[in-house]
Amino acid sequence: MGTSHTSSGVRVTVTGLRKSYDGVPILKGLDFEVAPGEIFVVMGPSGSGKSVLLKHVIGLESPDEGQILIDGEPIDGEHIADKYRMAMVFQSGALLNSLTVGENIGLYLSEHRLKTEDEIARIVAEKLQLVGLEKLENRFPSELSGGMKKRVAIARALAVEPQLILYDEPTSELDPLSAINIGEEIYNLNQRIHVTSIVVTHDRDLAFGVADRIAIMHQGEILFIGTPDQIRASDIPVIREFITADFNLKKHA
Amino acid sequence: MLFWKSLLALPTAWRHRRKISEQLFEIGNASLLMACVLSLFIGGVLALQTGPVLVERGLSSVIGGVVGLSMCKELGPVMMSVLIAGRIGSAMAAELGSMQAYQEIDALRTMNINPVHYLVLPRLLAISLALPMLVVFSILVGWTGGAAVSALNHDIGVSFQGYFQNLREVVEVKDVLNGLAKSFGFAVIIGIVSCHQGLKTIGGPRGIGRSVTKAVVNSIVLILIMDYVLTRVLMVFDH
């Protein structure tokens, strides 16, 4: 497993991906490709299958049909996790509550014995600084706010020096300022190490702010893939409804 | 399946020594006082129940052997295992269940960290070491409880000295080893069943509750079934 500080993104290819739970189809044949170093945002209403898609891309779920390739190799192939460094930022953060913030961030490095304890401590401090949370190494996740947990989760993903990073609703439950900070982190990380990023969100501001391309998902299908400008110009009713939806309560009162 | 995966992970055990010692400390810390109280009273009740019957038949001098053998071959291992299934098995299932429900185990997988190596193996090894140690402790305390009741209860009236003299004559090292072998088997059952239930938790707090209940109930049922099987197998070595 490599540990270099300069990462390079991988190509992700999804073909004919289908998945059902208890006979209910959740993913209905998805096809798309994400180029190395691209920020690819999957946007759509809740329940459209975005998070399930993400779990397939990182190999946490197996598809009923179709396949996911990382640089041309199937995600369920042997030693794929040893060959490519991948990380995921979960919606809840998914920090290990029994470990401190520092232990969480250094977990990948310590468990795979990639660095000495001193080096890990230095990397942890560096990643915490990067997400604006200096000197929090010894705190436990239960002592952090939702936004801080998300940033620690990003710091943990950064410690992997990933070639592919997946974000599951990175700005949900965050105030607008924290959401902007997270968006900047996603963008800066991509610029710095050219990591391939797949962001699942229903936050339109985040999507249009960071994406190279956006895929609109609806009821388990991808309706459209395009640049932010192409999405804005789309006349597909479902997409227009989703990107223009706004509170209009007072108007009707 | 989880048992085989854990066996295959054994070569990595040394790497997890810190986690194993943490778990050992937790098990000991959580169970020692309870084990002490439980064993003292089990030994006492055994003496209280059998003592008068033996006195009636003029066999009061063998009470040390009766309590001694019962404690080390049956009651020590079984009662300690039931206690540990309730106290530690439930905690294991709840902890792993909560990690499963809140995606912590998924997070480990995305970091290419095997949950069996990282979570199951240290717990399984710790409980497999801790339970036999607790059983030794339980046997000793149980013997003492039996001795105290035999000496203090006027219907029995067997002195400390007489009680332990008979115990030494009847109980052999192989009897204690017999109990320890059983407790090791029970520890593996509790560890595997509890971790398995924790890892297959579905849903939130309700799912965790279900996993905890299943872990304790299944462990106890399996312990009692395995108790018969192991007793039968170990009887072969007695002859």
pLDDT digits (tens, 9 = 90+) for A152-161: 998 999 898 8
What ipTM, to 2 d.p.?
0.85
Return the residue of A nearest to B112 by Cα: A81
Q: What does DSSP say about strands A86-89 and A24-34: parallel, antiparallel, or unpaired?
A: unpaired
B chain contacts of residue A98, beta-carbon cutoff 8 Å: 95
CA distances from B212 to B84, B92, B99 (A): 13, 8, 13
Q: Give how far B25 is from chain A: nearest CA, Å.
A: 16
Q: Cα separation of A49 and A200, whole Å?
A: 10
Question: Cβ contact (<8 Å) for B99 and A96?
Answer: yes
* Whole-number percent of chain B with pLDDT over 70: 100
- From A30, A70, A34, select the one nearest A214 (Cα to Cα): A34
pLDDT digits (tens, 9 = 90+) for B141-195: 999 999 999 999 888 888 989 999 999 999 999 999 999 999 999 999 999 999 9
Q: Give how far A86 is from chain B: nearest CA, Å.
A: 7
pLDDT digits (tens, 9 = 90+) for A169-199: 988 877 888 788 888 888 988 888 889 999 9
Residues in chain B: 239
pLDDT for residue B16 is more than 90:
no
Identify the pLDDT of residue B13: 75
Contact B67, B76 (CB under 8 A): no
Q: Cα separation of B38 and B52, whole Å?
A: 22
Query: pTM of the predicted model, to two decimals?
Result: 0.84
pLDDT for residue B119 is more than 90:
yes
Question: Cβ contact (<8 Å) for A92 and B102?
Answer: yes
B112 touches chain A (CB under 8 A): yes
Identify the pLDDT of residue A78: 77
Of A14-23, A52-61, A95-104, B24-33, the least confident: B24-33
pLDDT for residue A236 is more than 60:
yes
For the segment A206-212, the average pLDDT, to the nearest whole number, is 93
For the segment A129-152, the average pLDDT, to the nearest whole number, is 88
pLDDT digits (tens, 9 = 90+) for B59-110: 888 999 999 999 999 999 999 999 999 999 999 999 999 999 999 999 999 9
* Whole-number percent of chain B with pLDDT over 90: 73
B26 touches chain A (CB under 8 A): no
Q: Cα separation of A253 and A246, whole Å?
A: 15
Which positions in chain A have a beta carbon within 8 angstroms of at least one beta carbon in chain B?
1, 55, 58-60, 81-82, 86-88, 90, 92, 94-98, 107-108, 111-112, 160
**Which one is predicted more confidently, B48 or A47?**
B48
Domains and CATH numbers, chain A: 1-84+198-242 (3.40.50.300)
Identify the pLDDT of residue A252: 57
Question: Cβ contact (<8 Å) for A108 and B112?
Answer: yes
Q: Give how far B166 is from chain A: nearest CA, Å.
A: 50
Identify the pLDDT of residue A250: 67
Question: Cβ contact (<8 Å) for B111 and A90?
Answer: no
pLDDT for residue A5 is more than 50:
no
Q: Give how far A95 is from chain B: nearest CA, Å.
A: 6
B102 touches chain A (CB under 8 A): yes
Question: Cβ contact (<8 Å) for A95 and B118?
Answer: no
Pick A87's closest partner by Cβ from B104, B110, B118.
B110
Domain positions in chain B are: 15-231
